[in-house]
Structure 1
Amino acid sequence: MLNFFFNFYFYLLFILAVLVLIPLFTLYVALTRTFSNHRSTMRRFRRAMVWWGKTVAFIPYPFIRFRYELNGENDTKKSYIFICNHRSAVDAFLMKVLPHEFVEIVNDWPFKIPVLGIFARFAAFLDIRSMSHEAFMAKATELLGQGVSIVFFPEGTRSVDGRMGSFHSAAFRLAVETGTPLVPLCITGNEIVMPKGSLFIKPGIIKIRQLPPLAADDFTGLTPFTLKSRVWKIMEQELSAMESTL
């Protein structure tokens, strides 16, 4: 019964936030676009989406808490390729912890969400399923060149049992071809807060640990397959260590 009221409280505030904040964000971007170039507008728009993520994450506090741990550098003047494990539908909102301007690589379902799907498309989030390999690589390379970081969930789907699945190669091929640093981002507790296949949320603690980046020199001469295997092992070991302290 308590869980029912908790979910009612969360979704009520979530709907109110959508009704109030989305129009405000839209107005803000529309007004600034009048006085700014396209690049500046996109930067502000992506920051607005981060603030939206912060708002959604704040709604269930203190029932759901977030712990972000930074190990290594976090230079906002650089672009990175972030590699995240994927256990829950809330993972996209967890990227609010990143101080970088970024886009996410997603499947087609986020674009089908009313209103928010339009925002994701306008922010240049990339639907990897609908793009050819050439088009995807060209657009991703362009974004990295603009100083925009890219967030990948290379498993391609959420884990059912919490164990990390095998990685697809796109992120690692992009890193090898562009020389962009890779940053592993390990997340635990999210599968408890909102398990795959459920819209009900539960109280809990979500840990997000950002590991040191792998610079281009660290994977010079490696194939995308070898690189993704190395990153998978690094993240698997870190996730095991994180879960042992839950």
Structure 2
Amino acid sequence: MFYWVCKYILIGPILRVLFRPVLEGVEHIPAHGPAILASNHLSFCDSFFFPLMVPRRITFLAKAEYFTGKGPKGLFSRLFFSAAGCVPIDRASGSAAEAALTTGARILGEGHLLGIYPEGTRSPDGKLYRGKTGVARLALQTGVPVIPVAMINTDQVQPIGQLIPRIMRVRMRVGTPLDFSRYAGMDGNRFVERSVTDQIMYELLQLSGQEYRDVYAASVKSNTSDAEPGRTAAERIAA
């Protein structure tokens, strides 16, 4: 209930007026039944603008820390991510990846839309990075279509480290559904899962027009942090 109240009463109308979001290709999202919505990830606000423009509810997987904070900040975080339709996943445990896949399969099994960021984290510089194969395994396990979604300029609306978004039009683009049924029963085959993931990332590349880097975004962030331990993330990105 809180999801719909925020979408249509508390937050959604304000976002529509201020940012005038535009979503191309919404007709590719099915009116009924499960699907994986695989998106590039440019900004913290991605999980708000895209669900705002899709009539159906989208469930995203989010790290559990967003739901366990204390005090006013923790309360705000819980409300914020609940409003975005997120489900908490404990990424610190050894079985975190398996827990995410299990939760994702359950959501799809209930006939819902599942939102996934195959890069695993926000892009540190606006480029598109190598996708992790969890999205492929989930698609092969469940047999549902994968729909590529490109966030176009949300990194300009709210760059990493910037709390207050810039007021400008937000643009998003949805591609045609990808059918991987020809690989049925081949989940767990790392070569097949890598091939499927790369196909998904190629579609995101075509939709978004980003420059592609065949490395994981998390590795780039880690290397940057290690190289410049005395600077904040915002300062490193700004540099």
Instruction: Tell which deviates more after alignment, 160-169 or 78-87.
Output: 160-169
Secondary structure class of the residue paired with 1:204: coil
Distance in 2, Cα, partners of 1:145 & 1:84: 20
Match of 1:235 in 2: 204
The Cα offsets for residues 42-93 of structure 1, whole Å up to 9 and x where unpaired, read as xx454345435524523xx34x221111165322211111111111111111
Match of 1:180 in 2: 144
Secondary structure class of the residue paired with 2:144: coil
The Cα offsets for residues 26-53 of structure 1, whole Å up to 9 and x where unpaired, read as xxxxxxxxxxxxxxxxxx4543454355
In the TM superposition, residue 100 of structure 1 has moved relative to its aligned partner by 2.1
The Cα offsets for residues 209-228 of structure 1, whole Å up to 9 and x where unpaired, read as 11111124365567221111
In the TM superposition, residue 201 of structure 1 has moved relative to its aligned partner by 2.0
1:126 aligned to 88, 91, 94, which one?
88
Secondary structure class of the residue paired with 1:223: helix
| Alpha-carbon contact 2:2-2:82 (below 8 Å) kept | no
Match of 1:82 in 2: 37
Amino acid corresponding to residue 61 of structure 2 in structure 1: I
**Inter-CA distance 49–78: structure 2 relative to 1 (3 Å threshold):** farther
| Alpha-carbon contact 1:103-1:126 (below 8 Å) kept | no
Structure 2 residue 164 is the aligned partner of structure 1 residue 200: yes
In the TM superposition, residue 116 of structure 1 has moved relative to its aligned partner by 4.3
Match of 2:176 in 1: 212
Structure 2 residue 69 is the aligned partner of structure 1 residue 105: no
What's the TM-score, normalizing by structure 1?
0.69
Structure 2 residue 4 is the aligned partner of structure 1 residue 47: yes
Unpaired segments of 5 or more residues in structure 1? 1-43, 242-246
The Cα offsets for residues 113-154 of structure 1, whole Å up to 9 and x where unpaired, read as 424415746966132514624333332222211112110112
Alignment of 1:163-178 (within 5 A): 163-178=127-142
**Inter-CA distance 240–129: structure 2 relative to 1 (3 Å threshold):** same
Amino acid corresponding to residue 227 of structure 1 in structure 2: V
Amino acid corresponding to residue 34 of structure 2 in structure 1: S
Distance in 2, Cα, partners of 1:196 & 1:78: 34
| Alpha-carbon contact 1:105-1:128 (below 8 Å) kept | no
| Alpha-carbon contact 2:116-2:135 (below 8 Å) kept | yes
Amino acid corresponding to residue 57 of structure 1 in structure 2: L
Unpaired segments of 5 or more residues in structure 2? 211-239
Distance in 2, Cα, partners of 1:109 & 1:89: 15
Q: What is the root-mean-square deviation in Å for CA atoms of aligned residues?
A: 2.6
Secondary structure class of the residue paired with 1:231: helix
**Inter-CA distance 148–53: structure 2 relative to 1 (3 Å threshold):** farther
Matched length? 195
**Inter-CA distance 71–114: structure 2 relative to 1 (3 Å threshold):** closer
Distance in 2, Cα, partners of 1:146 & 1:116: 26
Match of 1:146 in 2: 110
Identity %, equivalent residues: 22
Distance in 2, Cα, partners of 1:206 & 1:236: 18
**Inter-CA distance 219–173: structure 2 relative to 1 (3 Å threshold):** same
Secondary structure class of the residue paired with 2:164: coil
